[in-house]
Structure 1
Amino acid sequence: MESNTCFHCGNEINKKDEVIYDDKNFCCTGCKTVYEIFSQNDLTCYYDFQQAPGATPQDINGKYDFLDNVTIVEKLLEFNENTTSIVSLYIPHIHCSSCIWILENLQKLQKGIIVSQVNFPEKKVRITFNPQETDLKAIVYLLSSIGYEPYISLENYETGKKEVDRSLIYKVGVAFFCFGNIMLLSFPEYFEVQEFWINQYRSFFRWLIFALSLPAFLYSAIDYYKSAYKSIRSGILNIDIPIALGIVVMFVRSTIDIIMGYGQGFFDSLTGLIFFMLLGKLFQQKTYSFLSFERDYKSYFPIAVTKVAPNGTEEAVQVYEIEKGDRLLIRNQELIPVDGILISEKAAVDYSFVTGEEEPIEKKSGDKLFAGGKQLGKSIEMEVLFSVSQSYLTQLWSNDVFQKKFEQKHKTITDKVSRYFTPALLLIAFASLIGWLFVDTYQAFNIFTAVLIVACPCALALTAPFTLGNVLRIMGKQKMYLKNATVIEQMAKVDTIVFDKTGTITTNKKTAIRFVGEELSDHEIYLLKNALRGSNHPLSRRLYDYLPDVSKAMPTSYEELTGKGVLAFFDKEIVQFGSASFLDIEENSEYEKTKVNIKINGIYKGFYIFNNQYREGLADLFEKLAKNYELKVLSGDNDGERNTLLTLLPDATELIFNQKPEEKLKFIENLQTQGKNVMMIGDGLNDAGALAQSNVGIAISENVNVFSPACDGIMDASQFARLDYYLHYAKNAVKTIYTSFGLSLLYNSIGLSFAITGHLSPLVAAIIMPLSSITVVSFVTIMTNLLSRRK
């Protein structure tokens, strides 16, 4: 860094304000103080990622005093519970890898900050902190002191308004103004008009054209220069380098032409090039934001939650139908989908999905419940404060904690191609320039510029994100909600599919249920139904629907052991139901059907037998899948359904019964050690571990709010028979990417052949380049839409 610029922020140093510290020059005391803070906390690596990456800290004394107001802070916090608070702050200065590094190491600068995560595209940092050790105001002042002052607007938080970045539109407008006027002033030159007035004023018009080109050259194209400069400094050659180089070469060459009187130069081509490239970028931006909007909208989960009507009746509704003021019933192990107020007397909420802490937090009536918590124990009722779109359930599902470390092959291909393509392009361009200098000096620079522009691999870089983005949108419309684009590629690789049985290949709808044993009295049915009301297990839900309506009662104590059964206390009365081993009784071998054993007040009453109703289209689905995949069925039940399944499913299907949740997970692990790419289909209750372990975990959603953030997708139960279609569609999407790669490379090859031989002007190249990007986007969009319509 030169001595006349600040070591921290890179600004020019006024000699009278210069501060020298640790043999380094700073423009002010603020920058020197930031350096001191980093130095004292062993964070000077901040300056290794980029020279002078910082910003001069501003004087904010008293600016954030409003953060002393608890009511205001509550509105800003996403989550606030005991020793954990979470806030997302918008920081406009985030611009490079140094910013990410320092903002994700805030815990080293201030006690109480637990972890911070940067969302670079949105310029946001999500900070988890302990409110007993620090507060939001102290964090904001810390960020401001190191040059990362956050932008806080209560209006934005309350109304959800977002500032729209219109800079690209302005740049397109300026470039179009310059291009249009330069073309108009160039008409006499085009038609070689030799009248007296044009000869007399030719020099004036040429310099006027030069002046008109400056706004486009200096303002509209500035992003290309910045990107190329940062790319060169970081040692990586990106696709903006040849574009920036072509623009600069055309401008310098055109200016020399005017000065030396050779002609008017290429200012029309130059401004046209900038205009058409920015127009292409605007089109890409609009298209991608459209896809992103649809993706955000479709991220609402098709899980359901039980809504309690004013008359006490219960109804399962989709989560995005929940409105402020609704009353919800949350059962054991159910996820709280929205922020709300606890109505029941007390609750125990597990916020490990949000905070990582597994210790449940005791809540009492009137306390606030945050979305993302999981209810433990007896069922509770709550009143909704915000609809699901205003909570951060979507953020929870996309949290880095639950992201699998997939091999992102399509990104690697794009990166590799771009990494080698740009150096190769520069080599071809300079070789063409040198070669043509010996033939035609005037033509050499035209060819050099045309090569740089026409071969730009923009279309190549757009292929994967546009294809997968559109597939995500289409699948969302068809009720298959995938976490991110990487899941699509993983689905294309799957060779083994493992199904859970209860609640997955069987439906939770009412079906034939029969009781074997001593007939239950009305009071015992009353106790049993209210104990069943708190359980989320598919058999519990079916039995709850089967039993007659009774008045509501809340257990005084409730415990559900996953995969085993439930123990509920109603004052001095005890209800116990589940497996034979859980009730400590001998298994009745006479009935091999799926069953739930009942024990009331220590006396064994008998069991309910379930004649499983399998999902519609199950046999056809398995027959199709068996042609291309290995199929397995895992069940926690006994093998009473084995014969039924053997008649329904293909012979090669492996059936495994009596599996505990941890055994399901180990089964998936064993398949993966054999080199299998495994997809697990489960109901998200007893299968959470197996869903997380599998290469692709898909949770079936029917009429219960069971949600596993570690799953990769949620499929509406009504679409179960279309699983083969989704897998086939994912494979076709990947094929579309490779086809599009081929088309892009073919286009570049043809364009280069015309450019090198001098048959392509820079202006035509500038028009063709964004058109190629538009062609690729149109191709992948049309193909993915056509493929989605195939049966």
Structure 2
Amino acid sequence: MNTQNCYHCGLGYTDKEEIVFDDKSFCCNGCKTVYEIFTLNGLTDYYSFEKTPGATPKDINGKYDFLDNEEIVYRLLEFHEQETHIVSLYIPHIHCSSCIWILENLNKINIGVSSSQVNFNNKKVRIVFNPEKTTLKEIVHLLCKIGYEPYISLDNYEQKKKKVNRELVYKLGVAFFCFGNVMLLSFPEYFEMEEYWLDNYKSFFRWLIFGLSLPSFLYAASGYYSSAWKSLKTGMLNIDVPIALGIIVMFVRSTVDIIFGYGQGFFDSLTGLVFFMLLGRFFQQKTYNFLSFERDFKSYFPIAVTKILPDRSEVSVPVYDVAAGDRLLIRNQELIPVDGILISDTTAIDYSFVTGEADPITKKSGDKLFAGGKQTGKIIEMEVLSSVSQSYLTQLWSNDIFTKKDRQDYKTITDTISRFFTPLLLITALASLLYWLFIDVTTAFNVFTAVLIVACPCALALSAPFTLGNILRIMGNKKLYLKNATVVEQMAKVDTIVFDKTGTITTSKKSDIFYEGNGLTEEEILMVKNILRGSNHPLSRRLYDFLPNAAIILVDNFDEITGKGIKGHINDNLIRIGSVDFVGVSKAQTLQTAVHISINKVYKGKYVFANSYRNGLKPLLENLSKRYELKILSGDNEGERETLKQLVPPGTLCVFNQKPEQKLAFIESLQKEGKNVMMIGDGLNDAGALAQSNVGISISEDINVFSPACDGILDASKFESIDYFLKLSTNAVKTIKMSFGISLLYNAFGLSAAIAGKLTPLTAAIVMPLSTITIMSFVTVMSNYYARKKA
């Protein structure tokens, strides 16, 4: 009987077991069914990414009946609101691009699935679905039918996966044992001892050395073989290909030597090579952990939230100091930082940051509020259920939905270099082998192996992530919290900086405010204060702090129109606060920064603000203007133009009366001119511009405003350090280039020695991790040196 491979899963089967459908052969009805599902839903491109990528579906009859229990389902869900549920499932079978493609197209198979995103590294898929159209049980059954059965455990299976993987430690231990014993047993050969026992037991000791090398060759070095094989299957040569090839060549050559009595072979070099390379990899892993690439939530959210104390007073506290049982005040457009229970009567929550759905969801008193929702209405109170570290706020920062387009990953550049480097290395090694074969066969194989090992581009591939990772950590310590390491490289490319005015170059702290117009009664001031209490706009916050303390009263129909103003009803009185046009006044606009007030459509007057610019603004702009093109955008009128002229360098463009959509269009126009733009704003009226810019930095002061689309959050106290951070990013890229030069120089010297036959494989194996350590030490020292330099 002939053996064939299944079109879907690739497993072998005999002619007798063959099932033919659509001119394709399958090993079982399960694989045939999966193919039918994909065909009916137009998903046959699944097989274009990789041949036989699927897995044979398993019989799950009754296995997931526990998902009929709503209480169990809610424990598994990350988020559940009316028409939107979100669940993250661990799927062990995820292994290739086909898996990613099919799992991110589940919405084509099940109409209840809105979207699905795969985290390839963690083998997880995050599924957003409508519980009115499908259930979690149906989704799990679908995944099982197409060969992607999830692993579900109510005992928090995440913890099991997060345990430290000790496989590398075990392999390192095995490699060390083999290396030590093979070296010990090789001493008689080294000293060419011809005594009786060596002559009689030479063969025995050689075969013993062969046996001791097998665990090192088959187990300790297995990671290199699997990595190289996957690389070859995808047609991309990674850095493990030459390493695996060198190990195999040494083993085969050494085995041939023993079988034909040519000598003891190179098992000492082979086991030494595996040990020292694993030692280098272990060092890399430890260094990665030291740099803390996976930072905790405190690194991302320096924002504050308003906490209500038992005496009903309000205090601003860091978001990570919030604990279960605390009562929080959430204003209009503020992000809910933690899971909690709504205390106020009703509100509307925008969960677009979490689900992608923009329609607000109405919540009533006693309903659960999930972290990540944005409050869109009058001010509310909520009671905290869990601290920020236990909520979903941290997931928003790295959500793929908010990843900028056209973002160039520096590690991808390094990988590209490695892909070109590896074929060149293989050609060099083969050419050296052919050359030395005509001179000395033994030296030829030594040279071939030494070339493959010494020129390994490990150090080349590690210099960028180590540099950027360390810079990311340094900036975080200095209160600039960046989304990821690629933002550092983007900052180094910036040539144009755009500043928002209100709340960015001006401070939202108390400043000179005076009133012009008809006098306000105490009752009217009380109403104005309570309307302002629900707004997060910098002018609203400054005016709220300026007005005298007042009793808290109920506000109805609160509404805030971005870029215009706020309104609401108190005891049947309509209060409007904002621009001249918003309050309905036909008077000519003045050139002052002012907030106008009308009550029951009667104009009362205005509060005029003497803008307080941030300390160090003038020297900062002067320094930046030497290297960057500067722009100032403002939603206010031109009343501050003359003041700004005294602060900004000559030639700086200042644009006023800009609405949020106009700010975004301004950034787009600069990018069309080929500019790399960094936008610095407060995250309120300029959220769109921040998202559109190449680098968007949000200034954080005393308000809980956070946009997942921005690239970084800068503590307002570090505003003067913007020039320092930009120089640090430029120096980070310079460090990477220098490390590339050192790595290439090392490879040039190493290759020269190896090709000349003056470098043994064992020496190359020792030198290779040393070069990696050198590069990592260099980039760490240099990045720390540049971090200590003043801007």
- With structure 2 as the length reference, what TM-score do the two structures score? 0.96
* 1:635-654 paired onto structure 2 within 5 Å: 635-654=634-653
Amino acid at match of 1:783: M
Tell whether 2:2 aligns with 1:10.
Answer: no
Check the 8 A contact 1:307/1:327 in 2, yes or no.
yes
Alignment partner of 2:383: what SS? strand
| Equivalent residues in 2 for 1:394-433, closer than 5 Å | 394-408=394-408, 410-433=410-433
Paired residue type of 2:662: E
**For the Cα contact (< 8 Å) 1:633–1:653, is it kept in 2?**
yes
Distance in 2, Cα, partners of 1:579 & 1:50: 60
Is 2:712 the partner of 1:713? yes
Deviation (angstroms), 1:688: 0.9
What is the rounded CA distance, in whole Å, between the counterparts of 2:331 and 2:472 in structure 1?
A: 31
CA shift in 2, pair 1:161/1:533, >3 Å: farther
Question: What's the counterpart of residue 352 of structure 2?
Answer: 352
Contact 2:331 2:535 in 1 (8 A): yes
Instruction: State the shift of 1:39 in Å.
Output: 3.6
Mean CA deviation greater in 668-677 or 705-714 = 668-677
Aligned equivalent of 1:303:
303
Aligned residue number for residue 279 of structure 1: 279
1:163/1:691 CA distance change after superposition, 3 Å? same
Aligned residue for 2:626? 627
1:183-226 per-residue CA deviation (whole Å, 9 max, x = no partner) reads 12112212222221222111111111111111111112122112
What is the CA deviation profile of residues 730-788 of structure 1, one whole-angstrom value per residue up to 9, with x for unaligned ones? 11111111111111111111100000001110011111112222221111111111111
User: Alpha-carbon deviation of 1:527?
Assistant: 0.7
**1:65-144 superposed matches below 5 A:** 65-144=65-144
CA distance in 1, matches of 2:289, 2:126: 22
The CA deviation string for residues 552-579 of structure 1, in whole angstroms up to 9 with x for no partner, is 1221111111111111111311111111
Structure 1 residues 592, 111: closer, same or farther in 2, change over 3 A? closer
- Could you tell me how far apart the structure 1 residues matched to 2:782 and 2:198 are? 53
Structure 2 stretches of 5 or more lacking a match?
none
Q: CA deviation at 1:676?
A: 1.9
Matched with 2:597 is 598
Query: Hey, what's the Cα distance between the residues in 2 that align with 1:763 and 1:61?
Result: 56
Partners of 2:6 and 2:667 lie apart in 1 by: 57
1:467–1:733 contact (8 Å) kept in structure 2? yes
Equivalence for 2:383: 383
Paired position in structure 1 for 2:667: 668
Residue 594 of structure 2 aligns with an amino acid whose one-letter code is K
Distance in 2 separating the partners of 1:46 and 1:129: 22
Q: Secondary structure at the match of 2:3?
A: coil
- Deviation string 1:283-339 (CA, Å, 9 cap, x unpaired) is 222322443455344543112111111211111112111112211111111111222
Cα distance between partner residues in 2 of 1:717 and 1:790: 21
Distance 1:294 1:301 in 2: 14
SS at match of 1:295: coil
* Correspondence for 1:685: 684
Name the counterpart of 1:467: 467
Distance change in 2, residues 1:229/1:161 (3 Å): closer
TM-score using structure 1 length: 0.96
What residue is the counterpart of 1:212 in the other structure? 212
Check the 8 A contact 2:307/2:315 in 1, yes or no: yes
Q: Give the equivalent residue in structure 1 for 2:481.
A: 481
Deviations 1:58-99 (A, max 9, x none): 333333222222222212211211211111111112111121
Q: Are the aligned partners of 2:584 and 2:601 in contact in 1 as well (CA < 8 Å)?
A: no
Name the counterpart of 1:52: 52
CA contact (8 A) 1:379 1:533 kept: yes
Instruction: Give the direction of change, closer, same or farther, for the CA distance of 1:204–1:713 in structure 2 (3 Å limit).
Output: same
State the alpha-carbon separation in 2 of the partners of residues 498 and 361 from structure 1.
Answer: 35
Pair 1:299–1:106, CA change in 2 (3 A): farther
CA distance in 2, matches of 1:409, 1:224: 25
Q: Is the 8 A contact 1:344 1:380 kept in 2?
A: yes
| Distance in 2 of aligned mates of 1:592 and 1:111 | 55
Aligned CA-pair RMSD: 2.0
Which secondary structure state, in structure 1, belongs to the residue aligned with residue 125 of structure 2?
strand
Q: Please say if residues 115 and 127 of structure 2, whose CA atoms lie closer than 8 Å, have aligned partners that are also in contact.
A: yes
What is the DSSP-based 3-state SS (H/G/I as helix, E as strand, rest coil) of the residue aligned with 1:456? coil
SS in 2 for 1:504: helix
Query: Corresponding residue for 1:759?
Result: 758
Name the structure 2 match of 1:741.
Answer: 740
Residue 528 (structure 2) pairs with residue 528 (structure 1): yes
SS in 2 for 1:174: helix
- Aligned-partner SS, 1:154: coil
* Higher mean C-alpha deviation, range 133-142 or range 5-14: 5-14
User: In the TM superposition, what is the alpha-carbon distance from 1:12 to its structure 2 partner?
Assistant: 4.2
The farther-off stretch of 663-672 and 491-500 is 663-672
Aligned 8 A contact 1:406 1:486 in 2? no
Secondary structure of the structure 2 residue equivalent to 1:155: coil
User: Partners in 2 of 1:266 and 1:505 — Cα distance?
Assistant: 68
For these two proteins, the number of residue pairs brought into alignment is 789
Code of the aligned partner of 1:175: A
CA distance in 2, matches of 1:552, 1:291: 48
Q: Which amino acid aligns with 2:537?
A: H
For the Cα contact (< 8 Å) 1:75–1:157, is it kept in 2?
no
Shift of 1:413: 3.3
* AA at the equivalent of 1:564: K
Does structure 1 retain, via aligned residues, the 8 Å contact 2:298–2:320?
Answer: no
Give the match's secondary structure for 1:125. strand
Paired residues for 1:503-514 under 5 Å: 503-514=503-514
